[in-house]
Amino acid sequence: MGTGEITGASRSGEQELAAGEAVTATGRLSIARRVKPEARHLPFSTGQLARLDEALTLSSRSTGLEFAIYLGDLGEQTRESAAALHANLGARAEEGVLLAVSPQQRAVEIVTGAESKRRVPDRSCQLALMTMVASFKEGELIDGLISALRMLSDAAGTQR
């Protein structure tokens, strides 16, 4: 072993290595296995996501407001969490309309910025919220969101 070589038993008498197996220089058998990750369950199909994206795009283009949807946990203070998410719209927050939905908590919040509040009054937000809740009770999450977007963009009117 003067040159640092490792001596060990020969593997010549053992069976052939399978795919993904290799013997390292130290004689250790290294095995690589393909692990398939669990399929994530997404709340919407690809077609539903396309419909939602189209509704968001049309609402934003026709009104000039920034419509956004959040679907997930809002924590204990749902209104404050939704307001913080709305602030993440950055420079567009003044013209922003956020629909925040937490299905597990059965909570829905609509947050508007200063400019969007002027164009989308509280009464319109309440009607959109009631429409969402009615659809959600029927198990129609995507339809409730799209209906609310349409109602809010109709209330806002066209871009000025």
Question: What's the one-letter identity of residue 132?
Answer: M
**What is the fold of 46-156?**
Diaminopimelate Epimerase; Chain A, domain 1 (3.10.310)
pTM: 0.72
Domain boundaries, the chain: 46-156
Query: pLDDT tens across 108-136, in order?
Result: 999 999 999 999 999 999 999 999 999 99
Per-residue pLDDT band at 34 (split at 50, 70, 90): confident
- Distance CA(96)–CA(111), nearest Å, equals 8
In this structure, of 15-19, 50-54, 61-65, 66-70, the range with the lowest mean pLDDT score is: 15-19
Mean of all residue pLDDT scores within the chain:
86
What CA–CA distances, in Å, run from 116 to 50, 68, 124, 146, 149?
Answer: 25, 12, 12, 18, 13
Looking from the CA of 100 toward its CB, the CA atoms found within 13 Å total 23
pLDDT of residue 149: 95
